[in-house]
């Protein structure tokens, strides 16, 4: 299971651990991913998605999953999210 948000495409970043003695060692910054179920009002069903906490706030801010997917860029979405977006366009 990859550590990538299904809605925003946010993934791991790399950087340095810096000690008190200013020694630098490489490290990874992982996104805060959560398994959530989001409800589509148009389609009338819920979907299990693995998204970041920031994406969950964005979904709430935009007014739900349907509104978020309408504005989202296709390049950032996962295959599952793209399928949901296509189903919404048909409905």
What pLDDT was estimated at residue 91?
84
pLDDT tens digits, residue range 37-70?
Answer: 999 999 999 999 999 999 999 999 999 999 999 9
pTM to 2 decimal places: 0.86
- Say how many C-beta atoms besides its own lie within 10 A of residue 26's C-beta: 8
What pLDDT was estimated at residue 53?
97
- For the chain, the 3-state helix, strand and coil shares in percent, each to the nearest 5, are 30, 30, 35
Token pair recorded at residue 42: 């148009």
CATH fold of 13-90 reads Ribosomal Protein L24e; Chain: T; (2.30.170)
What pLDDT was estimated at residue 37?
96
Q: Contact 85/7 with Cβ under 8 angstroms?
A: no
Reported in sequence order, the residue ranges of the chain that DSSP labels E, i.e. its strands, are: 13-18, 24-29, 33-40, 45-52
* pLDDT band (50, 70, 90) for residue 1: confident
What pLDDT was estimated at residue 2?
86
């Amino acid at each position: 299971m990859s550590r990538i948000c299904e809605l925003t495409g946010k993934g791991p970043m790399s950087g340095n651990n810096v000690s008190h003695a200013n020694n630098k060692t490489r490290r990874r910054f992982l996104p805060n991913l959560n398994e959530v179920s989001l409800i589509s009002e148009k389609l009338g069903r819920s979907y299990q998605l693995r998204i970041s906490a920031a994406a969950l706030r964005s979904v709430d801010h935009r007014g739900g999953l349907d509104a978020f997917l309408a504005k989202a860029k296709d390049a950032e979405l996962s295959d599952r999210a793209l399928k949901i977006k296509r189903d919404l366009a048909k409905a």
